[in-house]
Amino acid sequence: MSEGRLRLTILGGFLGSGKTTWLRHQLHTGTYGHVHVIVNEAADAPVDDALLARADQMTLLAGACACCAGQDALIAALLDICNRRSGDRDPAARLEHIVLETSGLADPGAILLLIQAHPILARQIVVSGIVVVVDALNGADQLQHETLSRKQIEAADRLILTKTDATQTDEVARLRATLAALAPAAQQSGALFGSDANLPDYDAKAIMPYRLADASDTPITASQLDLGIDADWTAFTVWLSALLHARGDHIVRVKGVVRTPAGRLLVQTVRKSVQSPEILPESAKNVPTDNSIAVIGRGFTQEQLRASLVQFSA
Residues that bind other proteins (CB under 8 A): 1, 122-123, 232-235, 237-239, 241-243, 245-247, 258, 260-263, 265, 267, 274-277, 279, 300, 303-313
What is the DSSP-derived secondary structure letter of residue 47?
-
Query: Between residues 125 and 131, which has the closer beta carbon with respect to other proteins?
Result: 125
Query: Between residues 202 and 300, which has the closer beta carbon with respect to other proteins?
Result: 300
**Rounded-to-integer distance, Cα 165 and Cα 190, Å:** 10
Per-residue CA distances from 199 to 112, 152, 295 (Å): 29, 21, 26
The least CB distance from residue 59 to other proteins, in Å, is 25
With 0-12 / 13-18 / 19 or more C-beta atoms within 10 angstroms meaning exposed / middle / buried, residue 290 is middle
The least CB distance from residue 240 to other proteins, in Å, is 8
**Rounded-to-integer distance, Cα 234 and Cα 68, Å:** 35
The least CB distance from residue 8 to other proteins, in Å, is 16
**Rounded-to-integer distance, Cα 231 and Cα 85, Å:** 38
Give me the amino acid identity at 79: L
The least CB distance from residue 180 to other proteins, in Å, is 25
Query: Between residues 152 and 223, which has the closer beta carbon with respect to other proteins?
Result: 223
Query: Between residues 28 and 123, which has the closer beta carbon with respect to other proteins?
Result: 123
**Rounded-to-integer distance, Cα 244 and Cα 242, Å:** 5
Query: Between residues 71 and 276, which has the closer beta carbon with respect to other proteins?
Result: 276
- Give the residue ranges of DSSP H helices in 70-128: 71-86, 108-117, 121-124
